[in-house]
């Protein structure tokens, strides 16, 4: 990319999160990612550069090692003309959601992160006329306007029936957790108050040429269901497919603790119980697939926040006494090979040292990053003669797709966010406890509500 010849009219608004904003080039398969800050908080150019470089280093030296070479795209930090950045900011301002405008685009440093456009296939170059379908799945659950049937345990089960259920649930209540792009343009996701049926009909209209190219399928509800069913099946096959080798297998663990295979709150589990079944067929994720490798990184959270917080406080007390040691402890980087190697220590026996506490804190940060990442699946219909092309292909009922799978949103979670997570976890537990107690009180028979004391009556058997 020629930073000296930048035209803001060649770039369009692509999307934004809490901490960054992305614009995509109209012709080339690249995006620029800019940091965002509250109006009252400004960073120097050097701080912005280091922040972005830390993102690159963490992706390259840690997440790429865990998830594989082809799944993680690190990008590079670029310096852009300030005039271009300011004009670009003015151009896209009207397209930004009002809820995201509480933070401003960094227009003072000139630094941005240049990355491949993951809404395009990343494995091979294709002719421009070939259509591209892209599905972005947010791994964690987000904020919902209403209760969703989606449960991450279903998606990560490896059981196709449960995965189909999870993906259909995401499609029914997409919000920020599922987006679908066609040729780089958002066609589904972040829904408003429209009914799911209306959204599905419109989505099926977009997808029908991909999955039923011969146009042999009539319109109407049957057509919509058939198209959505094909989409869900293809996504499931891609998620279960093998990818390039990462080093998540280096995380050696003992026997996994036994627990419920299905979340008790999951509608999928309730439907099984209505059918008189206790648990679904145990499938498990193939070790080569991206979901398996992502799950291994998520499981670096060995202690959960309740067990981790005392260790965080141990590190904090040490830093209060020796603040100059913060750099040595690599809390703010550098995220290099040495940082990665320390993450492989999965011991849980606390020897009382700061080193043990720091390792668990860093593992927690990496695990939380993997729990909040997004998986981007790009699909492109294969040409009739594909026998000579060596590339990953997934079949559907009436077509075949070349595909690539990538992971994004891999910024390491801040060290300073741990107290917030601890408080949030406490609020969740308290709310759950109150809700359960209220539910128990509501179903309690009236004769037990009338008096606080009760009498135990024993009958002869």
Tens digits of per-residue pLDDT, 231-280? 999 999 999 998 666 666 566 554 444 334 666 667 776 666 666 665 55
pLDDT in tens, 12-67: 999 888 899 999 998 888 999 999 999 888 789 999 999 999 999 999 999 999 99
Dihedral sign, Cα of residue 22, residue 52, residue 325, residue 363: positive
In angstroms, rounded to a whole number, what is the distance separating the alpha carbons of residues 286 and 158?
7
| Per-residue confidence (pLDDT) for residue 193, from 0 to 100 | 45
**Which residue carries 């601890």 as its tokens?**
422
In angstroms, rounded to a whole number, what is the distance separating the alpha carbons of residues 96 and 17?
11
Low-confidence ranges of the chain (pLDDT < 70): 1-4, 122-129, 140-146, 175-176, 190-198, 214-221, 243-265, 269-283, 384-390, 439-461
Per the CB < 8 A criterion, the answer to whether 272 and 280 are in contact is yes
Task: Quote the tokens at residue 346.
Answer: 């999965």
| Per-residue confidence (pLDDT) for residue 255, from 0 to 100 | 43
**Whose CA is closest to 354, among 388, 315, 321, 396?**
315
Give me the helices (H) in 93-195, please: 152-155, 160-172
| Per-residue confidence (pLDDT) for residue 434, from 0 to 100 | 85
| Per-residue confidence (pLDDT) for residue 190, from 0 to 100 | 64
In angstroms, rounded to a whole number, what is the distance separating the alpha carbons of residues 331 and 314?
14
| Per-residue confidence (pLDDT) for residue 306, from 0 to 100 | 94
Please classify residue 329 by burial: count the beta carbons closer than 10 Å to its beta carbon, then call 0-12 exposed, 13-18 middle and 19+ buried.
Answer: middle
**Whose CA is closest to 303, among 421, 214, 207?**
421
- How many Cβ atoms from other residues are within 10 Å of residue 14's Cβ? 21
In angstroms, rounded to a whole number, what is the distance separating the alpha carbons of residues 32 and 201?
33
In angstroms, rounded to a whole number, what is the distance separating the alpha carbons of residues 141 and 152?
8
241 Cβ contact list (under 8 Å, min separation 6): 289, 392, 394, 403, 405
| Per-residue confidence (pLDDT) for residue 128, from 0 to 100 | 47
H-helix or E-strand spanning residue 53: helix 45-58
| Per-residue confidence (pLDDT) for residue 367, from 0 to 100 | 97
Please classify residue 121 by burial: count the beta carbons closer than 10 Å to its beta carbon, then call 0-12 exposed, 13-18 middle and 19+ buried.
Answer: buried
**Which residue carries 């995380």 as its tokens?**
251
């Amino acid at each position: 990319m020629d930073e000296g010849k930048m035209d803001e009219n060649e770039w369009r608004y692509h999307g934004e999160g809490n901490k960054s904003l992305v614009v995509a080039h109209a012709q080339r398969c690249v995006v620029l990612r800019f940091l965002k800050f509250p109006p009252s908080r400004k960073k120097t150019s050097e701080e912005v550069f280091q922040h972005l470089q830390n993102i690159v280093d963490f992706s390259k030296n840690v997440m790429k090692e865990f998830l594989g070479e082809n799944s993680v795209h690190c990008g590079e930090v670029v310096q852009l003309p300030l005039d271009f950045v300011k004009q670009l900011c003015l151009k896209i301002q009207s397209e930004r959601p009002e809820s995201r405008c509480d933070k401003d685009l960094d227009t003072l440093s000139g630094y941005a992160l240049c990355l491949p456009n993951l809404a395009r296939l990343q494995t091979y170059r294709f002719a421009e006329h070939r259509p591209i379908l892209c599905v972005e799945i947010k791994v964690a659950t987000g904020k919902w306007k209403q209760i969703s049937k989606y449960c991450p345990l279903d998606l990560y089960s490896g059981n196709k029936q449960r995965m189909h259920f999870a993906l259909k649930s995401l499609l029914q209540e997409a919000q920020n957790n599922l987006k679908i792009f066609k040729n780089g343009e958002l066609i589904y996701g972040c829904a408003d108050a429209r009914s799911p049926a209306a959204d599905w009909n419109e989505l099926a209209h977009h997808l029908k040429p991909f999955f039923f190219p011969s146009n042999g399928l009539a319109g109407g509800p049957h057509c919509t269901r058939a198209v959505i069913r094909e989409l869900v099946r293809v996504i499931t096959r891609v998620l279960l497919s093998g990818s390039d080798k990462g080093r998540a297998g280096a995380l050696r663990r003992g026997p996994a603790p036994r627990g419920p295979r299905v979340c008790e709150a999951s509608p999928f589990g309730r439907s099984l119980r209505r059918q008189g079944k206790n648990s679904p067929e145990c499938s498990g994720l193939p070790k080569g697939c991206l979901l398996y490798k992502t799950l291994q990184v998520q499981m670096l959270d060995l202690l959960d926040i309740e067990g981790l917080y005392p260790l965080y406080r141990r590190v904090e007390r040490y830093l209060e006494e020796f603040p100059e040691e913060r750099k040595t402890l690599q809390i703010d980087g550098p995220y290099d090979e040495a940082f990665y190697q320390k993450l492989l220590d999965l011991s849980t026996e606390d020897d009382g040292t700061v080193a043990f506490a720091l390792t668990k804190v860093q593992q927690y940060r990496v695990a939380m990053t993997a729990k909040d990442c997004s998986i981007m699946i790009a699909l492109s219909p294969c040409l009739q003669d594909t026998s000579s092309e060596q590339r990953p292909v997934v079949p559907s009922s009436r077509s075949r797709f070349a595909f690539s799978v990538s992971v994004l949103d891999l910024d390491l979670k801040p060290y300073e966010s741990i107290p917030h997570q601890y408080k949030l976890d406490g609020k969740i537990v308290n709310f759950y406890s109150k809700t359960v107690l209220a539910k128990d009180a509501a179903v309690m028979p009236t004769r037990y509500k009338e008096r606080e004391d009760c009498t135990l009556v024993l009958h002869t058997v």
